[in-house]
Amino acid sequence: MESLEIVTLVNSVVIPICLFLIMMGMGLTLVANDFKRVLKYPKAVGIGLTNQLLLLPIIGFTLANIMPLEPEYAVGVMLLVLCPGGTTSNLFAYLAKGDVALSVTMTAIASVITVFSIPVVLSFSLIHFMGAGSEFQLPVLKTVLTLVLLTIVPISVGMLIKRFAPKVADNSQRYVSRFGVIFLAFLVAFLSYVQRDIIVEAFLATGPVSLLLNLSTMALGYYTSKWFGLNLAQRASVTLEVGLQNSTLSIFMALTLLANYKMSLTPAIYTLIMFLTAGILVRVFSAKYNKLKKSEVESGILAARRL
């Protein structure tokens, strides 16, 4: 099979199927009560979703405008910030001793909302960065339907499996989560190979904006959570949810809906950075968690002695 045929196969078949499986994996972790958690813990969910759905796109749009980026790379920034967190954020929230239920709830709700917000804002972004007469046009209705088929439908399938075959769901979800991370790494490697002639240039061009975006949004997520009095586990989940995006979905939209490899490189490079910073945060939050638990145990021992 020639290289062009392989690229076409990956773009049109492999990525959509794998994205479907990854989103179904998210559904395997969900039950109806996860959506009701908005009413039970409105402050924590509200802070997380405000960061994810409002502040993250604003910061991304601002950076895409003030940083010296080519139009395709700027659109790549918007592709990234318009997407919800993926199963990766849930996995890292677990590793960081965060509130996994909160992370899953934010991801699920954001995944539903962004199906309708992405096409509208992305269409505006294309006009803004590429020009009104650009060849890149985004059919809004078709995009909504595509996102429904690749997000809401597989999430619903996963939830049905969780509802009627909970043991199958529980045994499968860990493997699907790991598959999501492995496939994303494959996707980054694939893009690097296909665009090997410009990958160094792309890294130099988009690396700074990706790092700045990641650090600023994670800092915003952490400090807004702290200022509003969320506990340590909730702060960890909000921070990681804002900083870890569904890069697979971003890359899919660039390659399939917009048919532009250059736009996919910003999400790909951001992926490398977000894995690095998330790994550091896992260690930081885990250390904070262990210190807090040790302090609570010592306080309990001291109180028992006084009695």
Q: Are 121 and 78 in contact (CB under 8 A)?
A: yes
Q: Tell me, what's the pLDDT at 293? A: 84
Q: Are 251 and 272 in contact (CB under 8 A)?
A: no
Q: Tell me, what's the pLDDT at 6? A: 72
Q: Are 87 and 176 in contact (CB under 8 A)?
A: yes
Q: Tell me, what's the pLDDT at 85? A: 82
> What six digits make up the tokens of 220?
């915003």
pTM attached to this predicted model: 0.89
Q: Are 255 and 271 in contact (CB under 8 A)?
A: no
Q: Are 109 and 145 in contact (CB under 8 A)?
A: no
* Pick from 196, 201, 190, 194: nearest CA to 271: 190
Which whole-number Å values give the CA distances from 178 to 34, 65, 181, 185, 187, in the listed order?
A: 22, 35, 5, 11, 14
> What six digits make up the tokens of 28?
């395997």
* Pick from 240, 243, 234, 241: nearest CA to 41: 234
**What CA–CA distance (Å, rounded) separates 161 from 166?**
7
**What CA–CA distance (Å, rounded) separates 81 from 57?**
5
Ordered structural domains, the chain, with CATH: 3-306 (1.20.1530.20)
What is the chain's length?
307
Q: How many helices (H) and strands (E) does the chain have?
A: 15, 0
**What CA–CA distance (Å, rounded) separates 285 from 291?**
10
Q: Give the single-character DSSP code of 148.
A: I
Q: Which residues of the chain, if any, have pLDDT below 50? A: 1-2
Q: Are 120 and 62 in contact (CB under 8 A)?
A: no
Q: Tell me, what's the pLDDT at 206? A: 95
**What CA–CA distance (Å, rounded) separates 150 from 154?**
6
| pLDDT tens-place string over residues 158-176 | 999 998 998 888 888 778 8
Q: Are 135 and 75 in contact (CB under 8 A)?
A: no
Q: Quote the crossing angle between the two packed helices 42-50 and 32-40, to the nearest 10°.
A: 100
